[in-house]
Amino acid sequence: MIKKKGFLAATSLAGLLLLVFCGKQKLEWQGEIYKSEGVKIIRNPKTPMYEKDVLELEEELSLGGKEVQKQEHMFSSIKEMCVDDSGNMYILDINQKSINKFNSKGEFLGALGRTGQGPGEYGFPWDICISGNRLVVFDIIYRRIIFYSLDGEHIKHINTFKKGQLLDIEMNSNQEFLVHLLASGQKSMYELSWFDADFNKIEVIESFEREKIPLLESLSPDIHWCLTKKDEVVWGYSDRYEIKILDAHGQLTTRILRNYDPIPVNEQEYAGQIKRKFGGKSPGPRFQQKLPKNHPAFHSILSDDQGRIFIGTFDNTEDQGHNYDILDAQGKYIAQMTFPVTPFLFKKGKLYCLEQDPDGFILVKRYRVKWKHI
C-alpha cells in the first residue's frame, strides 16, 4: 500500500489506457546479483529491461467528480485508502474528517466512526489500515489507535501519547505495528519502528535526525516504506537509491541498488509553493534557508500481490504524471512508467488511484491491470 504521498495529476485518464515506452525492447537484464555477508545485492543498471508495451490499465470504476449529487461521493483531501478482501473500499478524507466505506460497485455503505471524544469517536483521523477483519485508525489529536470491525463497530483503542507523534501505520499478520513516527524528546528524531500488539516498542529499523525543518517536505530525504503481502518490509532512506528488504522475522535479506543521475531542483518551479507556505514572508530560523541542490532519489514505495516493487521517482518532473521504476519480485529493474494518476495501492490485479478532473474535482478510480512480457 501507498503511504503518503499526494501528487495529483491534472490529466484525466478514461477508458483503456495503454502505457507505451519509447526505444528498442530489451530482453536481457543488464544488472548484477551477488551476496555479501549473507545479504543478496541487486545492482541495477540505469536503463530498465523492458521499454514498451509493459502493461494495460482498463478503467472499471470511478467515484466522485463534478456531477455527483451525494455528499459521501464528494472528496476533498484523501489521505489514505484501504481495500479489504471483498473489494470494499475505505476512504479517509482528512478535510472532511471522515472514513467512508464503499462496496466494489462504488455504492456507499456507511461511515466508520465520527468526530467526538467518546468511545469509538476520533478528533482527527490521520491514517488507516486493515488488519484481518478490523479497520485500524490513528487519531492524531487524541494520540490513540482505534479498532473497528469492518462494519464499523467499535472494538477498542490504544493510547500512544508517550510514544511520539505517529505519521503512518501498518499492521502485519502477527498484529504487530509498523510505524513511521517522530520520536518523543528534544531532538527531531524520525523513526521506522516495530511495536507489539499492545504498542510496546520492539525494534527501531531506521532513524535520522533533522536539525532544521525543510522548506518543502517533498524535497527533503525521508524514510519511505511499504509492508508486503508476505509481511516483508521494503524500505529506503531517499538520500540515495538503495532499497532494503527485511523478511517477516526482521532479517535483512536484500539490498537493491540502481545507478541513476540525481535530478536537479529548479528553485523557480517551487517558488510558488514556498511563498504560499510562508505567506510571502521569509522562512524563520527553524527552517532551512535554501532548497537542496537535487531531488531525493525517490518519494514513495509501493508493492503488489506478486511482489513487484514500484519506486516513485522525480524523473521527468516537467511532464505531467508520476514516474515509477518497476522492480520484479527478485528486485530487477524491469520497466519505467509514468502514471497520469496518483497510485495508491495494488490489490488482486487492480490498481486503486486518485485523479483530478479538468474542473479540479478529485476522483477515486479502480483499474484492471494486465501485464505484458512480465
Q: Is 163 helix (H, G, I), strand (E, B) or coil?
A: helix
pLDDT > 70 in the chain, percent:
90
What is the DSSP secondary-structure string of 34-70? EEETTEEEEEE-SS-S--S--EEEEEEEEEESTT--S
pLDDT per residue over 20-41, tens digit each? 333 444 468 999 999 999 999 9
Flag whether pLDDT at 15 surpasses 60. no
Give the C-alpha distances (Å, rounded to integers) separating 262 from 7, 216, 259, 348. Answer: 20, 18, 10, 34
Report d(CA 125, CA 74) in Å as an integer: 18
Predicted TM-score of the model (pTM) = 0.89
Amino acid, res. 314 = F
pLDDT band at residue 374 under the 50/70/90 scheme: low
CB atoms within 10 A of CB 264: 12
Looking at every residue in the chain, the average pLDDT score rounds to 89
The pLDDT score that the predictor gives to residue 317 is 52
Flag whether pLDDT at 68 surpasses 90. no
Report d(CA 336, CA 338) in Å as an integer: 7
The pLDDT score that the predictor gives to residue 319 is 57
pLDDT band at residue 17 under the 50/70/90 scheme: very low
Contact (CB, 8 A) for 230 and 304: no
pLDDT per residue over 81-133, tens digit each? 999 999 999 999 999 999 999 999 999 999 999 999 999 999 999 999 999 99
Is residue 267 packed enough to be buried (19+ CB in 10 Å), middle (13-18) or exposed (0-12)?
exposed
Range in 37-41, 277-281, 307-311 with the lowest mean pLDDT: 277-281
Range in 55-69, 108-122, 344-358 with the lowest mean pLDDT: 55-69
| Higher-confidence position of 178 and 12 | 178
The pLDDT score that the predictor gives to residue 348 is 95
Look-up of cell digits 521569509? 282
Flag whether pLDDT at 18 surpasses 50. no
Report d(CA 81, CA 2) in Å as an integer: 9
Give the up-direction half-sphere exposure of residue 316: CA atoms within 13 A in the CB hemisphere: 13
pLDDT band at residue 4 under the 50/70/90 scheme: very low
Pull the grid cell for residue 32: 548484477
pLDDT per residue over 130-153, tens digit each? 999 999 999 999 999 999 999 999
- Average pLDDT estimate for 187-194: 92
Amino acid, res. 365 = K
Go through 185-207 and write b for each residue having 16 or more CB atoms within 10 A of its CB, e for each that does not: eeeebbbbbbbeeebebeeebbe
